[in-house]
Amino acid sequence: MGRAGDGSGGLANRTAGGRACRRYAVGAATIGALLTCTPVAAQQSRMIAGTGGGKPRLEVDGTPFLLLGIQLNNSSGFASQMRRLAPAIARSHANTVMAPVGWEGVEPVEGRFDWSVVDGLISEARAQKVRLVLLWFGSWKNGNMSYVPAWVKRDPVRFPGVTTAQGQRIEVLSPIAAANRDADARAFAALMAHLKAVDGARGTVIMVQVENEAGTLGADRDYSPAAEALFRAPVPADMPGAKPGDWTANYAERAHEAFMAYHTARYIGAVAAAGKAAYRLPLYVNVWPREQPGLLRPGDSSPSGGAVSWLLPQWRALAPAIDVVGVDNYDTNVAPYTEIARAYDVPGNPLFVPETGGSMAHARHAFWTLAQPHAVGIGKFGIGEGFGMRDGVAMEEPIALDYRLIGPVAPLLLPLRDAGRVRVAIEEDGIANVPMSFPGIDLVVRFGEVRDGYGGPRGQGNADVSGRVIAAQVAADRYLLVGANANLRFAPPLGRGGTVQLISVEEGHVERGAFVRDRWLNGDETAFGVKLPPTGATLMVTVEQSQ
């Protein structure tokens, strides 16, 4: 266990002969050999700024990194729980575990820090050979203050909560209170300093989430006397787009949400800046999106003050220490899912979906997400011991198939993707034939059984609607195909005669960024289209066009 109060914790990066050699006990387990007596070679993860207003990219150990995450449940952010879930994590094929760290456990007594939970998670991540993203559950968790320490909860005078229009105090810390912000910032800075001390040379922790779905549930804004005075005052000059006048004059019916966004963003910006001053790891926030079924009411359908899509530019300006604003996206319908995702895939902010579900629909959407240029990655929320098992028999989960296919090809895929040379097709209910176009060639992706009929051979759809394909143009005549349950046909572009001949179809894998052939496919496997089986495959197809 880390020594309370000194901020150093129970691990160290002091080295001798290139090896860290300090032993320390964390909880009941001695983890010194595992944590600190292994060669130190990793580089710190970082966000590399895009050029010309472009999107930054995540790098780990000096190379682009595609985050394929599995998120522990809210009460599973402990080494013992992660160890219990190790077989399920392995079955997920995730390269990153996303684990919550609650403020209440880190600073149970004001000014005295206990790093045993953090150290245990780092130890377990190293044992399982996965990267770690820590989720700082500080002032906010799903628009609530449930993870703040007891000494904060018990002192509402010093740490005021939001007051409703009816004069009731709810269990949400007020974002206008400096005492709330400063206490959170001190704790977060201590966490980041500890991470630098124990992990700076190893780089197990690659990102940190600042708060969780921040904002206020239960009220559209704070109605305390202090908040009332600020609401009726002129909008501060640092609010992007502000004009003379108060919040109502500027934002009309959206004034309450804009007011809370201003104060919440500045609060979290200060917390993030304090942390980054201690250790420059990539930091992000995750957003409960405003786009929800039914009536859209800030404080009810989504937390008021979060980085919702219409306030994203303001949030990014007010919290510059945040590298990425990610959006939690659980929608199972393709149109709203992609609409929400595209709202956060904007210049300067790459697409990142820290939370999504585990259904087949979510897996299809994950495939689409990971194919978007500059996307940081995706995280599947929640994992239990039964993940990947059915009646005691291993059964690959849909999201695990995504990770198994995309993870190994990422070194080859990412440069092509970010250069605009990747296309993606996902099956939908009633949509089993999806066209793709590259410069100089067209493809059609057909899902399910292919039958002849009017309009030519067409896919009939898979019963489980499971088809998904990523295609990348490696060269004018070479195409990398990754996916499952699909059949592809190449054709000349519209207006150009001739045919497209398959020169070779190779099944294989990627090593050190290069495709390695395992076998050639031919005969029945290619005569009626290039096939990707239900279990998935990685293919390299070489074609030649003739007039």
In 3-state terms, what secondary structure has residue 455?
coil
Do residue 274 and residue 129 come from a single domain? yes
Residue 27 lies in a domain: no
pLDDT tens-digit profile of 297-320?
999 999 999 999 999 999 999 999
What is the band of 54 on the pLDDT scale with cuts at 50, 70, 90?
confident
Residue 38 lies in a domain: no
User: Distance between CA 9 and CA 3 in Å, rounded?
Assistant: 5
Count up the domains in the chain and report the number: 2
* % helix, strand, coil for the chain, step of 5: 30, 30, 40
pLDDT top residue among 55 and 268: 268
User: Distance between CA 543 and CA 524 in Å, rounded?
Assistant: 18
Position 26 scores a pLDDT of 28
Do residue 429 and residue 408 come from a single domain? no
pLDDT tens-digit profile of 55-108?
999 999 999 999 999 999 999 999 999 999 999 999 999 999 999 999 999 999
* Number of helices followed by number of strands (H, E) in the chain: 14, 31
In CATH, what number is assigned to the domain containing residue 201? 3.20.20.80
Reading the block at residue 427, the tokens are 């099956």
Mean pLDDT of the chain: 92
Can you tell me the mean pLDDT for 220-232? Answer: 98
What is the band of 381 on the pLDDT scale with cuts at 50, 70, 90?
very high
Do residue 414 and residue 429 come from a single domain? no
Can you tell me the mean pLDDT for 168-183? Answer: 98
Can you tell me the mean pLDDT for 134-163? Answer: 98
Reading the block at residue 452, the tokens are 């002849």
Position 43 scores a pLDDT of 66
In CATH, what number is assigned to the domain containing residue 450? 2.60.220.20
Residue 12 lies in a domain: no
Q: Which of the listed residues 419, 451, 482 is the one where a domain comes to its end?
A: 419
Position 456 scores a pLDDT of 87
pLDDT top residue among 306 and 28: 306
Do residue 315 and residue 184 come from a single domain? yes
Can you tell me the mean pLDDT for 199-213? Answer: 98
Position 27 scores a pLDDT of 31
User: Distance between CA 426 and CA 483 in Å, rounded?
Assistant: 10
Can you tell me the mean pLDDT for 467-475? Answer: 98
Position 24 scores a pLDDT of 25
Can you tell me the mean pLDDT for 336-361? Answer: 97
Q: Is the pLDDT of residue 119 over 60?
A: yes
pLDDT tens-digit profile of 5-19?
333 344 544 333 333
Q: Is the pLDDT of residue 20 over 60?
A: no
Radius of gyration of the chain (CA): 25
Do residue 380 and residue 430 come from a single domain? no
Do residue 414 and residue 540 come from a single domain? no
Residue 20 lies in a domain: no
Q: Is the pLDDT of residue 534 over 70?
A: yes
- Which of 7, 38, 6 has its CA nearest to residue 22? 38
Q: Is the pLDDT of residue 4 over 50?
A: no
What is the band of 52 on the pLDDT scale with cuts at 50, 70, 90?
low
Can you tell me the mean pLDDT for 403-424? Answer: 98
Domain of residue 53 covers 45-419
Residue 33 lies in a domain: no
Do residue 509 and residue 536 come from a single domain? yes
Cβ within 8 Å of residue 382, ≥6 positions away = 71, 72, 73, 358
Residue 430 burial (10 A CB sphere; 0-12, 13-18, 19+):
exposed
Q: Is the pLDDT of residue 32 over 70?
A: no
Can you tell me the mean pLDDT for 216-225? Answer: 98
**CA–CA distance from 208 to each of 3, 98, 134, 135, 195 (Å)?**
23, 9, 5, 6, 10
Q: Which of the listed residues 387, 419, 451 is the one where a domain comes to its end?
A: 419
Residue 112 lies in a domain: yes
Position 48 scores a pLDDT of 84
Q: Which of the listed residues 419, 441, 457 is the one where a domain comes to its end?
A: 419
Relative to beta strand 377-381, strand 67-71 is parallel
Residue 21 lies in a domain: no
11 and 36 Cβ atoms separated by less than 8 Å: yes
Can you tell me the mean pLDDT for 413-435? Answer: 97
Do residue 71 and residue 147 come from a single domain? yes
Can you tell me the mean pLDDT for 258-268? Answer: 99
